[in-house]
Amino acid sequence: MLTRRLGLISSVCALIAGPALAERRSAAARAVGAQGRHTKEPTETGSPADTPLGPVDTVARWAYIMDFDTGATLLEKQADEEMPPSSMTKLMTIYIVYSRLKEGRLKLDDQLPVSEKAWRTQGSKMFVAVGSTVRVEDLIRGVIVQSGNDAAIVLAEGIAGSEEQFADLMNKTAQKLGLTHSFFKNCTGWPDPEHHMSARDIATLAAHIIRDFPQYYHYDSEKTFRYNNIAQGNRNPMVQKGTADGLKTGHTDAGGYGLVASSKRNGRRLILVLNGMASMRERAEESERLMDWAFFNFEDVTLYAAGDVIDRVPVWLGANPTVPLVAGKDLTVTMPRNWRQKASVKISYDTPLIAPVAKGDTVGKLEVTGQGVPNFTVPLLASEDVPKLGLPGRAMAVLSKYVTGT
């Protein structure tokens, strides 16, 4: 096995320099200014969150921040612990609604009936009238903007016949999406000892909504919605300030105040989940502070484009003497901003390879390590076919190796 340690080679530097670097410096300057607006430390920090940069204090009992494009974890605190998700549950309700719309089994103009159960439900409400029918699109806004428990139940009953059957559908969908720390008893997040999600699961679900249903995600950024002559504002403080374009808040006595938000700045999107805070004000301040921290301290870096030749590997008895190695796709990673001083990039492969080699074969790996740098490994692929030499060519190659030793 041959291992080669690569410096920050010119091809990498070229990809991260120039206008992109200037843009990041400008973004960093704005983030510093934003950070300056949030210099007040929380009065009670509790245990800190884990990050690639070291511990970071947060008043949230549960916390998770991820990069949308790379999936990198930037901050986590009890991220896989089961917790009361309150109205953040409604993300799963909306995911199923969007799935039915995409499949054509539901339409935005469909009218769904309002049952007495939906009308009588407590908590936040859209204020639908019993015995009436409501357009699906209005119900979506009622769930997302107004956090209406009544709207969620109307959707659940319209899709599955009952809230209980809809909860079964939620759990099946959670399994399909890989939400391993979630179990649903209702469509609203109404307190139930068996009803739970984790912060990481909520972030994963939020990412699926944004990625799977971009045609519907615009509802999340609406700041107000009027129904039945009652106007209500979006309960997400980051959406109201314009520092996020979705997704949801929640509150119960058991779970405290929570929020899941997604923000896109300079082409980069992050998803943040916080829960277990003591007040709406604390939720608003902490979500802004940690989102600013994440954008300021990390960046997405493209180390190699899909077709970049990273190295060439000798091929024994091949029609070509070497085969180029490529990553096969753009290799974009999330790094702390000072990663250049700390990262070590190396590639490993068996040498020589034995012909034949097929295009797409995994023939090596690239590893990135370093203090404060998230470690990762990606496979390296052969970028072309290398057939075996014909019999005369193989004979000459063996003879040459015998004579020269190479």
- Residue 279 among the catalytic residues: no
- Residue 182 among the catalytic residues: no
What whole-number distance in Å separates Cα of residue 24 and Cα of residue 360? Answer: 34
Beta-carbon contacts of 4 under 8 Å, excluding residues fewer than 6 positions away, are 311, 346, 347, 348
Q: Which of 77, 90, 125, 185 is catalytic?
A: 90
Give the CA dihedral 111, 115, 119, 122, nearest 10 degrees: -120
Q: What is the DSSP string of 243-254?
A: S--EEEEEEETT
Residue that has been written with the tokens 């109307």 in this structure:
154
- Written as six digits, the tokens of 292 are 């600013």
What whole-number distance in Å separates Cα of residue 170 and Cα of residue 164? Answer: 10
What whole-number distance in Å separates Cα of residue 67 and Cα of residue 295? Answer: 10
* Residues 309 and 324: beta-carbon distance below 8 Å: yes
Q: Which of 86, 87, 182, 198 is catalytic?
A: 87
Q: Which of 124, 147, 198, 262 is catalytic?
A: 147
Angle between helices 149-160 and 90-103 (to 10 degrees): 40
- Residue 115 among the catalytic residues: no
The answer to the question of whether 248 is labelled as a binding residue is yes
Q: Which residues are annotated as a binding site?
A: 248
What is the set of active-site residues? 87, 90, 147
Q: Which residues are annotated as a binding site for substrate?
A: 248
